[in-house]
Amino acid sequence: MVEHVLAHLPQKPALNTLELYAGAGLFSLFLAEHSRELIAIESSPSACFDFANNLDSYDNVRLYEGPVEQVLPALMDELPSLDLVLLDPPRAGLHPRARESLEKLSSEHIVYISCDPSTLARDLKRLCAAGYKLEDLHLFDMFPQTYHLETMAILQRG
């Protein structure tokens, strides 16, 4: 999945990147090298502890601990113009407040990773209505011999 994300990065020398639901920093670890600034939000204290340890060597990374639907709206005025937003929300998908903030950010690209096709479809419908276009949709069978699939949707503004 990381290789797929990296293959679809915007072609810019240094990105302003936002990662929502960042977990322990799996994607951030690889995106930090391509980012001028990487801002991450995660609600789990233990995941934040691991994130801080995993990305300690990067000076261009900021981590905010708290629910995305609370932290993101509070950060709106201080975020730079974003080239990329990567999000991997829980099964429930995007909280309405988080989605509204994401729409207002108007990032050039969004990478949306989902483990639930129904909430992904719901959120993609709203993001496309807000001006995004679905560029790529890829399935990953991370749990062979089960019905679970991870889906990666890549959206572009305009």
Residue whose C-alpha is closest to residue 18's, from 81, 73, 92: 81
Buried b (16+ CB within 10 A) or exposed e, 8-31: bbeeeeebbbbbbbbbbbbbbbeb
Please report, for the chain, how many H helices and E strands are present, in that order: 6, 7
State the catalytic residue, choosing from 22, 31, 68, 115: 115
Q: Is 48 assigned a catalytic role?
A: no
Non-local (6+) Cβ contacts of 76 within 8 A are 101, 104, 105
Closest CA to 39 of 13, 12, 58: 58
Residue 29 identity (one-letter amino acid): L
Active site residues: 115
